[in-house]
Structures are given as C-alpha cells and as structure tokens.
Structure 1
Amino acid sequence: MALLDIENLRIEFSSRRGNVVAIQDVSLSLEKGEILGVVGESGAGKSTIGNAVIGLLEAPGKMTGGAVLLNGERIDKLSAAAFRLVRGRRIGMIFQDPLTSLDPLQTIGQQLVETMQVHLQLTQQQASARAIELLESVGIEQARIRLQHYPHQFSGGMRQRVVIALALCCEPEVIIADEPTTALDVSIQAQILDLLRKLCKEKQVGMILITHDMGVIAEVTDRVAVLYRGKLVEEGPTRRLLSNPQHLYTKSLISAVPRSDIKLRRFPMVTYIEDVIAPSLRSNLATATRWMGEHRDYGASSDRPLLQVENLSMRFVLKNAFRKRNRVMLDAVKNVSFSIKAGEVFGLVGESGSGKSTIARLIAGLYQTTNGSVIFNDVNVTQLTDAKTTNAFRRQIQMVFQDPFSSLNPRMRILDIVAEPIRFHKLARTEALTRQIVSGLLDYVGLGDQALLRFPHEFSGGQRQRICIARALATRPRFLICDEPTSALDVSIQAQILNLLKDLQESLGLTILFISHDLPVIRQMCDRVGVMRHGELLEVADTEALFSNARHDYSKHLLSLMPSLDFLSRDGLQVEAG
C-alpha cells in the first residue's frame, strides 16, 4: 500500500462560458521516503493537484472524479473540520507565493508557534524554542530576533524559507512542495534541498515536489511525472526520463533548460509548445514593437555610464529602542559602487538577503538611501524633490518585481493594470490606442487578448509574472530593473521571456539590471555580473570571465553549487552560440 494514492483524479472549474477541465484522469502514487517530481508548463495543473490533495481547492474548482487516499484512507471526502486535523499535521504544504501564504498581521513567530500548539500540543516556551531551531535550520540568521518580525520585513527568498519552516514544523507524513526553491539562491537552495532530502530518507516522509527547475528535479527526485494541459503524458525514474524522454512535449521542455556550460546568443526554441499554444504571439507584435520604438530620444551614445551607483548604503532597524545604543540595526547595503553602460545587461547575484533587491529599490526610488548616491543620465536622482521631475525619471526606469501576485491590484482587470502607467504618463492619444497597445504587450509576453478582462487571481503564478513584465514595458522605459523576473516561470515561458528581453535590449537599446539567483540564466543574459554577500559587492567581472575564472572565493563557491545537467537530453535543440 502506497503512502499516498491519487486515483483517476478529475478536476473541473465551472464558469459562465461552461466547464473547464483542469485535470483529466491523472493517477499518481507516492511511497514512504520517496520524492516525486511533478513538472510541466505554467497552467498545466501541477498546483491544482497539490491543492486537491491538501483540501484547498478553491471554488469554483471541484473534484468531479477520482479519489485521494492517505495510507489507504480516503481523505477527499472528509468534512472541513476533519480535514483541518490532517492539513498541517499529516500533510504539510510549501506554497508557491510566500507573501500571500503568510498572515501579514501576525509575526513569523506567532504563526509558527500557533501552528505547533494546535497540532502538537506544545507549551508556548517549547513551541518558541522549536520555532527558533526551524528558522536556523532553513538559514535565517538572528532567528530569535527575526521571530518578532512581520512577513513584509523579509526578502522574497527569506519569506520562502519561513514558509518551508512552517511546512516542516509539525513533522508531517507527506509534504507537497509547490515551487519550494523559486526564490532561493543556489547556496540556500542546496541547503534546503539537503534538508528536505534528509527528512524524507530519515523520517520516511513522502514528498511531491512541484517545480519548473530541472536542476532541482535532477538533484532531488526519485521519479518524475510530466503534465501537459491537465494530462499525465509521461512518468518514470528521474535519470531515465531526463536523459531519454519519450514524449515530444518532455523533449521540448528539457531542451529549454538554460545551459550553464556555454553562452548562447538566444535561448533554445521550444517548438512543440510554441506551435500549440503561441500562434497569437505574432498577431499584434507589430503594433507593440512600433509603439515601443517611437519617440525614443536617448541622445548620442557615449562612453559615460547611463547609471552610476556610488558608495550606496542602506540600514534597516530590526529592533527599535529609545536609546540609540540598544537598537538592533541591519546594514542591508554597505558602500556599494558600480556602473552600467547604456545598452548593457548588468547582473547581480548572491544569497537571498544579500541586498540585491534593496539596491534595485534604491535605484528605482522606492527606498531612501542612508548614504551614497544614484546618478542616472548625469542626474543625481537621490536628490530629486520636484514631483514633475521625479515622475519623468520614474517613467524611464521601470521594475519587474519578484512576487507577481503581491505587485498586482487584485481588484483591477488586466487591461487596466497594464494601461495604468500609459494613462498616468499620458502616452496614448486615445483610449482605443491604449487598448491596442495593451493587447500588443500582452501578445508580446504570451497571453493575448483573452487576458484583457480577467483579474489576477484567474492566472497561474507564471502568467501573473508575464503581466508584470507587460506593465513594466508600458512606459517605454530606458532602464529596466528585473528582480528575479523568471523565478515563477516554467522553462519554456522563461525562454520566451528572456529572448524577448534580449530582443528589446538589442532593438531598442534597453539597459537592464538583471537580478537572479539562477546562475545559468545569468550566464545567458548578462554582459557583466556583480556578486553580493551580506550587503557587500565582492566582485564585478565580465560574465564569461566570472564563470571560467572567478576571483573571489564566495563566487567560486556559488558556481560550485550549480546542479550538473550534463546528462539531460539535448535532442533537437536549436543552438546559436554567442
């Protein structure tokens, strides 16, 4: 008898336009101590299966067929009260969007302690001590102090670690990990994956690992199931399936994995997927391309940097106190200096919490600097006070955030979300032209007209990130800050989006600050790379020089942690070397 059995699962979503079948007769099993990987495109149904197993399938979604059994006991028919005893205690879940799965009104400590007291009957003191151990085990420093902080006081990667700690706190029999390493850098990812692997083997915990990261799949899983449009198209042992895939969709999916050994001019094309789902990408591209290329007077090119960051510092107060000496401070950024030339793609890598996103927000004017300056096109933007000048600057610098759901207004339709910056800056003469531009931008990122009148909650995580990218492009920016822009995307859509960014950079002279923990993506995208740790910039080098001969020990350590993907099938791969 398997630990978990999913038998002929069928899930449908009802709407005014009829029923949509999200999962079609999918059967999976999970043994004790086994890690089962589930891969597929964004929207393929991976998270839907996880939500159904843990009893969190939201209306109008419902199971219309099949069964879910835990140790032979059918759990999909349990009452809401009975399922609450299963959820968290026997089945834990690591959610894809850490910010939306944490209570913003409770501290991290309160959420951990409450969960353990409900399921494990621990005292306040026992639960607090275990909470500190859990935070330390997932790599959060100063855990005792951090227990008192709220989710918004953590970086995206650190919030992900908190969610992992919450899933592990009650020692469940089954863990459903929905993109557990999406926001984690390679060093913390290796630490978390080791922790999850050890937990499964020593305590015989079964895990369903939902991810688009083939490196994670290759490193951790025992078996892999491949989903496409709600159907199970292939399943087998990890090594065999990745090195010798049988289904054309699986081959296409693997071909899109970024190379870490060589730099290519473009990301490989995923022909099977694109031929099926993306013919509309060609319909409105001309309008969007023409509009983004109009009226772009950037002046004559020069050797002067477009952006200069000089001795930039940012300090946060972790624990306030009346007496200054009793305050606990965090130096998120420490005297960082670098420059970015016009038309260059500059990458920032480093651990979660190393200060990468803080630098991005300082450049965009979302944070006030503690010290130092940001000079954009010879203007010190840290000293801007006039609203008109500030708005003109912000139009030229746009940002794609790490958490797509939290950066979209849930009450606005996609048409209005993408059109808002166009309307604010008065970039289009008529509302009809605004709608046409928005349609073209949505085509650019692979969504199309059908997305215009829908709301953010109707999209998967990867689709929401594409909406964020379309909105960032809406003001025809000169400088684009991409803060983990593809962390929520599956590899095929990631290839499309990164090729799009390459095209924009080349055709429009777009300058990009590209922040990512995915080193193969950094190698393919960036001209130069800066390596950060604990708020300090340790090394800046040309990309190929960094990957072939890194100078700093920490840079070498990061590169050594990249998963080896040499055995992946590269059949039919269209390669254009750079």
Structure 2
Amino acid sequence: MLRVENLTVKFPSRFGDFTAVQDLSMTIKPGEIHGLVGESGAGKSTVGAAIIGLLQSPGYISDGTMMLGDTDLRGLDQQEAHRLRGKRISMIFQDPQTSLNPLMRIEDQLVETILAHEDISAAAAKSRAIDLLEEMGIKDAASRMQSYPHQFSGGMRQRVVIALALCTNPELIIADEPTTALDVAVQSQVLDLIRRLAEVRKVGFMLITHDIGVIARIADTVTVMRHGKGIESGPTAQVLGNPVHTYTKQLMAAVPPLDRKIDRFMVPEKDDIVTPSMNSGAQAEAWLLSGTKSDPIGLSLSDIDVTFPGVRTSIFRKPDPFVALSEISFDVRPGSVMGIVGESGSGKSTLAKTLTGLVKPANGTMTLGSADLPGGKTRARKHPSRQLMQMVFQDPFSSLNSRHKIGDILAEPLWLYGLVKDQKERQELCADMLGLVGMPPEAINKFPHQFSGGQRQRIAVARALLARPKILICDEPTSALDVSIQAQLLNLLKDLQKAFGLTVIFISHNLSVVRQMSDDVVVLRNGRIQEKGPSEQVYEDPKADYTKRLLELTPTMPSQWMS
C-alpha cells in the first residue's frame, strides 16, 4: 500500500543543508501496523510529515520515491496533494487538545471534514459521524456530539481525533505519538482500537513513538531510526527480540522493566553528549551539602480532602462540589522515594499541588518533619515549607520562563530565599549547578527554547535544587521524554537523591518507571487510595483489583526480549 524508497529530507540554512532524513526505505501493507521508533531528533515525525505533504518550510524532499498504491506522492501538485490529504492519508497528532478546534462542537468538526471530501448531504454526514463515534467506543454518541473538546477527557479526545482521521475511509493513517500523554488504562483502550481498525477496516498504520513497550505490544513490523537513518527494520519479534545493530540493543537495555527492579538504567551511547569535567559540579555539591547537614525529613498526611466548586447547570440548583481527593492518609519516610501512581483524573497532580500549598485542602492535616503545614491559601511565601519543598513539573518548557536566560531562571530561588547575596557568586553557583546535572556551564547564557526536552528537564531539576530543598516532588517528569533521555534523567534523580538524602515524591502513570524509582508506593483512583505499601510488595503481590488491572494493562516487552 505504501512504498518509500531512499527518502531524503533536507532543511537549508545559512550554515548549509541539514539532512533530517537520509536514504530511508520502508513498506506498509493494508491492515499492517508499522512502528517507527527512535530518540527525539531521529527524524520520525519528519518522515510522517513528508509522506502526508506537511513538511515545514523551508524543508524539502531532495531524493527518494513515495508511492501510495499507484500514486506517486512526490508527483502531486499542491491542489492534488490537498485533495489526497485527509481522503486517502490521515494523521493523528500527539496532543488531541491542539488538534481539535476549541470553539467548535465535535459534530461540526466531524461533519465539516466529511463534507470536504465526500459528495453527500449534511444529514448523511451527521449520521456517519454518529456511527464513527459509536465505533470508537463513545457512548451516547448522538448527544456527545454536541459537546466541545474541553468537555471530553484526554482519552475521549483522542478517540474523537481517530474518528476524524477515519471519517473519509483513508488507506493510511499516520499516528504521531498518539498515546504519549495518556495513562496506561486509556493507552490500552486506544491501542486496542488501533489494532481493531487495522484488522477490520484493513487500514495501514504508521505508528510513530518512542515507547518501545507500545511497539512490542501492537506493531507488526518496525523500523529503528537514528540520526535520520533507518538502522534496522523487519518484523517486530525479529528486530526487538533479536536485535542486530548495537544501537537497537542499547535502546532495548534502556527500557525500564516491569517485572523486576534494577539499580541503574542503561543509556545508549551518544555522539553529541557533553561529558562534564572531573571538577564539574563540585562547588554546587559542596554548597548543597553545607545546607543539608541536618537529617532528612519526612512527610505525613492524615485524612486530606480536596474539593472544587461544581459546574452550575441550573440557576435554581446549587451545584454539588467535585471531590478531587478523599481521606488521603500516608507517611513518606525521611530520605525515601514515595511513588504515586494512578490514571488521569485520579488526583495525583492535585495531591502534589496540595503538598506545595498551591491548593487548599478542605479537611485533614499535613506534617513536614515535626511541624504542621498550614493550608494552601494561608501558607505565606516566606513560610519555610515553600523553600523546603520544591517541584519538578511535567513540561519543563512551560515551567521555565521563555523570556529569561537560564542564568536568571536558576538564580531566582537564590535571591528569593536569600541564600546567596552576591550576584557574581550566584552566577558562578548556577553555572556549577548545571555541571552537577550534566549540562555545560555555557548553557547559562542561553534561552530555554535552545535546548531539547531532556536538557530543559535537567535545568528544571537544577533550579529546584538551588532552593536547598529537603523534599523534591516530581510530577510526571519523564512522560514526554524518549527512552534514552528518560534513562539519563532517572539515573540523575537516583544519584541526587542518594547524594543529598532527599525525600522524593515521584508521580507517574508509568508503572515500570515507578517500580525502579520508589521505595514505597500509593495507588490512587478517583481521589481515593486503593493500595499502599512497600514498592516491591505491591508489585509482586498486589492486593487491590485495580492495582492488578493497572499492571496487566502496562505495555511491556516479553522477558526473553529484555534479556
């Protein structure tokens, strides 16, 4: 159905042409799911954009053949490519929220797409849209079509996007990281849906992802990319079960296993990695240790409730409050790592915001060490807990001020908490702190957009450490990172936690990662604790049915492949 031979994509610049994809060849048959896997910057998304004709200017295809059936995709003019796009080739993007128009109802978006490619009436288009949503597993589709995108959950929005991609009966769907931001339960639903569509409708899928567990579960064939080249390709069981290329083996070794706990993550060798000098970070390490001589402190929560105002549906009826957290009680041992897992909407991020004082609990008590923590709105900026508890957010690009240089971003906690008075000393300490987290000191004069996602997350960790915290709260710090960058960051967090005796609360929907990082674990569902206890005990012998279900749904590779 799709045949790509020797595809080469270049982006011209004043320094010469940058080759994003070089001599890539692949085929996809009807009903086949072909995985395209590799690290960030490998060229995966560029391949998808080239096939569907959405390459960003000034990028261009310099060489190669792309055939969809008997149609030469490179030989189409702009108008022909527009007619083909959406009709014969569709695309599912990573973030469904940005793929859907927030000002249009779901019905309008589906009907508009169908009418653009089909010569049918509006009533027939609406009927087909309802059938599509029902096929995607959305109950009461006729009434739900009147909703806006923000009224759906992340998984439901992704189902709507898949329905949009299918509404013209395409031959090929390019799915670019369709499950990256989804929890394991919703991810499993979306992957089962893709598999069923491939089998029943004989739609070909190009599944672009950095999640090797997803590829192992669903893909029929796979191509491994690195630096724009396809280095290994073939049936999934062959490529992942018996990899030939050294890089593929290293990539497999970086995947965190679910069935056992390991000490360190294997990191693939990189040609462009910066190796810090022997003394890099020594000043920052000594400064941190001098401020954390006292013993690590723990955290205790007792019967914490968090509620939010309900949505008013009538002027005659007071809305019921929404209960985000209910009767949350657990203890975090000093110097340990507490893992918090659960589906989207389970209350994980709300719990983190409650701990840091960004959300005020309705009931319950919180204790930091031996001191009681006040509620969020009564916790002043100068309260000691503001400094002692620091947070690393999921998206470092939005948590770092894009208008400030890295030096100014890192220096903020130093002057805010009065830790270093002299400006020159602050700059020197910030530069050395970058070395401690594996970044070059010259990064201090750059802006956040000049770094990759993994590098920005390291900068976010450095900023949190510069407050000299006792407790570090990590809210999904690796969810958007590829497997090798994730391995680097997790190794860094392990090293920092041990070196400085940090108490860490690690929040994630990735159960494999949580097992590797945590000493204890709490499982949340709908704002309530389903299970808690030592990490290995919960993973080896889960008591709650919900925990067992999460473990069963987590995409993993067969143990023989991991060995």
Q: TM-score by structure 1 length?
A: 0.84
CA contact (8 A) 1:280 1:443 kept: no
| Matched residue type, 1:529 | V
| Matched residue type, 1:206 | G
- Change in CA separation of 1:188 and 1:97 when aligned onto 2, cut-off 3 Å: closer
Confirm whether residue 296 of structure 1 aligns to residue 289 of structure 2. no
- Change in CA separation of 1:254 and 1:456 when aligned onto 2, cut-off 3 Å: same
Confirm whether residue 278 of structure 1 aligns to residue 277 of structure 2. no
Q: Which runs of 5+ in 1 are unaligned?
A: 572-578
Task: Judge which range, 357-366 or 108-117, deviates more.
Answer: 108-117
| Matched residue type, 1:401 | F
- Change in CA separation of 1:16 and 1:536 when aligned onto 2, cut-off 3 Å: same
- Change in CA separation of 1:543 and 1:79 when aligned onto 2, cut-off 3 Å: same
Deviation per residue, 1:480-505 (Å, 9 max, x gap): 22222111222222111111111111
Confirm whether residue 359 of structure 1 aligns to residue 333 of structure 2. no
Partner of 2:307: 314
Partner of 1:134: 133
CA contact (8 A) 1:349 1:531 kept: yes
Partner of 1:555: 547
2:329 alignment partner, one of 325, 337, 345: 337
Task: Judge which range, 278-287 or 252-261, deviates more.
Answer: 278-287
CA-CA distance at 1:557 after TM superposition: 1.6
CA-CA distance at 1:6 after TM superposition: 2.6
SS at match of 2:4: strand
SS at match of 1:337: strand
SS at match of 1:493: helix
Partner of 2:64: 66
SS at match of 1:389: coil
Partner of 1:575: none
Query: Matched residues in 1 for 2:78 and 2:481: separation?
Result: 32
1:486 alignment partner, one of 478, 485, 502: 478
- Change in CA separation of 1:281 and 1:201 when aligned onto 2, cut-off 3 Å: farther
CA-CA distance at 1:136 after TM superposition: 8.8
Query: Matched residues in 2 for 1:14 and 1:450: separation?
Result: 27
Query: Matched residues in 2 for 1:123 and 1:371: separation?
Result: 52
CA-CA distance at 1:193 after TM superposition: 0.9
Q: Which runs of 5+ in 2 are unaligned?
A: none
CA-CA distance at 1:247 after TM superposition: 0.6
Partner of 1:324: 317
- Change in CA separation of 1:126 and 1:98 when aligned onto 2, cut-off 3 Å: closer
CA contact (8 A) 1:43 1:460 kept: no
| Matched residue type, 1:341 | R
CA contact (8 A) 1:253 1:491 kept: yes
Query: Matched residues in 2 for 1:495 and 1:354: separation?
Result: 26
1:380 alignment partner, one of 373, 381, 396: 373
Query: Matched residues in 1 for 2:107 and 2:321: separation?
Result: 19
Task: Judge which range, 489-498 or 93-102, deviates more.
Answer: 93-102
2:522 alignment partner, one of 520, 527, 530: 530
SS at match of 1:92: strand
1:399 alignment partner, one of 377, 391, 405: 391
Task: Judge which range, 370-379 or 8-17, deviates more.
Answer: 370-379
Query: Matched residues in 2 for 1:230 and 1:160: separation?
Result: 28
CA contact (8 A) 2:406 2:444 kept: yes
| Matched residue type, 2:342 | G
SS at match of 2:375: helix
CA contact (8 A) 1:404 1:468 kept: yes
| Matched residue type, 2:372 | V
| Matched residue type, 1:311 | I
Query: Matched residues in 2 for 1:458 and 1:124: separation?
Result: 49
SS at match of 2:257: coil
Query: Matched residues in 1 for 2:242 and 2:456: separation?
Result: 32
Query: Matched residues in 2 for 1:464 and 1:311: separation?
Result: 33
Deviation per residue, 1:381-438 (Å, 9 max, x gap): 3155364325x53333333333444445455555555555556555554555555555
1:11-410 pair list within 5 angstroms: 11-76=9-74, 78=76, 80-103=78-101, 111-112=109-110, 114-119=112-117, 123=122, 127=126, 130=129, 134=133, 137=136, 148-149=147-148, 151=150, 163-267=161-265, 269-270=266-267, 272-274=268-270, 276-282=271-277, 284-296=280-292, 299-300=294-295, 305-308=298-301, 310-315=303-308, 317-318=310-311, 320-325=313-318, 327=319, 330-377=322-369, 378-385=371-378, 387-389=380-382, 393-410=385-402
Query: Matched residues in 2 for 1:547 and 1:221: separation?
Result: 27
SS at match of 2:23: strand
Partner of 2:503: 511
Query: Matched residues in 2 for 1:533 and 1:28: separation?
Result: 42
Query: Matched residues in 1 for 2:516 and 2:344: separation?
Result: 21
- Change in CA separation of 1:415 and 1:156 when aligned onto 2, cut-off 3 Å: farther
CA contact (8 A) 2:132 2:167 kept: no
Query: Matched residues in 2 for 1:17 and 1:97: separation?
Result: 32
CA-CA distance at 1:463 after TM superposition: 4.9
SS at match of 1:273: coil
Task: Judge which range, 66-75 or 185-194, deviates more.
Answer: 66-75
Partner of 1:475: 467
CA contact (8 A) 1:251 1:569 kept: no
Query: Matched residues in 1 for 2:287 and 2:223: separation?
Result: 42
CA-CA distance at 1:552 after TM superposition: 0.9
Query: Matched residues in 1 for 2:493 and 2:415: separation?
Result: 24
1:415-426 pair list within 5 angstroms: 416-422=408-414, 424-425=416-417
Query: Matched residues in 1 for 2:53 and 2:437: separation?
Result: 32
CA-CA distance at 1:97 after TM superposition: 4.1
Confirm whether residue 501 of structure 1 aligns to residue 493 of structure 2. yes
SS at match of 1:204: coil
How many equivalent pairs are there? 560
Task: Judge which range, 514-523 or 96-105, deviates more.
Answer: 96-105
CA contact (8 A) 1:113 1:131 kept: no
SS at match of 2:391: strand
| Matched residue type, 2:188 | A
1:452-471 pair list within 5 angstroms: 456=448, 461-471=453-463
| Matched residue type, 1:50 | G
SS at match of 1:317: coil
- Change in CA separation of 1:430 and 1:174 when aligned onto 2, cut-off 3 Å: farther
- Change in CA separation of 1:126 and 1:381 when aligned onto 2, cut-off 3 Å: farther
SS at match of 1:558: helix
- Change in CA separation of 1:427 and 1:62 when aligned onto 2, cut-off 3 Å: farther
Query: Matched residues in 1 for 2:220 and 2:146: separation?
Result: 35
| Matched residue type, 1:9 | L
Query: Matched residues in 2 for 1:331 and 1:130: separation?
Result: 34
CA-CA distance at 1:235 after TM superposition: 0.9
Partner of 1:576: none
- Change in CA separation of 1:346 and 1:124 when aligned onto 2, cut-off 3 Å: farther
Q: Which has the larger radius of gyration?
A: 2
CA contact (8 A) 1:179 1:211 kept: yes
| Matched residue type, 1:342 | P
Deviation per residue, 1:483-533 (Å, 9 max, x gap): 221112222221111111111111112222212222111111111111122
